[in-house]
Amino acid sequence: MEANKPTILVIEDEIGIQNFVSHILNSNGYHVVCAATGKEARIAYLSSCPDLILLDLGLPDLDGMVLIHEFKGWSPAPIIVVSARESEAEKVAALNAGADDYICKPFGISEFAARVHATLRSRGVLSPKGGEEQIMQTKDLVLDLDSYMVLKDGKEIHFTQKEFKCLALLMKNAGKVLTYDFILRNVWGPYSGTDNQILRVHMANIRKKLEEDPVKPKYIYTELGIGYRMLTD
Residues that bind Ca ion (CB under 5 A): 13, 56, 58
Instruction: Give the C-alpha separation, 176 to 151, whole Å.
Output: 22
CA distance 168 to 226: 19
Distance CA 14, CA 76 (A): 26
Q: How far is the CB of 64 from Ca ion (least distance, A)?
A: 8
Minimum CB distance to Ca ion smaller for 51 or for 56 = 56
Amino acid type, 198: I
32 and 22 Cβ atoms separated by less than 8 Å: yes
Choice between 56 and 100, CB closer to Ca ion? 56
Q: Sheet with 135-138: list strands edge to edge.
A: 135-138, 141-144, 149-152, 155-157
CB of 89 to Ca ion, least distance (A): 19
With contact defined as beta carbons under 8 Å apart, do 82 and 111 qualify? Answer: no
- Eight-state DSSP code of residue 6: P
- Least distance in Å: CB of 119 to Ca ion? 21
Phi, psi (deg, nearest 5) at residue 25:
-70, -45
Backbone φ and ψ of 52, nearest 5°: -155, 145
The residue (of 71 and 228) whose beta carbon lies closer to Ca ion is 71
C-beta closer to Ca ion: residue 64 or 189: 64
Number of residues that make up the chain: 233
In this chain, which residue has its C-beta nearest to Ca ion? 58
Q: How far is the CB of 58 from Ca ion (least distance, A)?
A: 4
> Least distance (Å) from Ca ion to the CB of residue 73?
23
Cβ proximity to Ca ion: between 85 and 115 the closer is 85
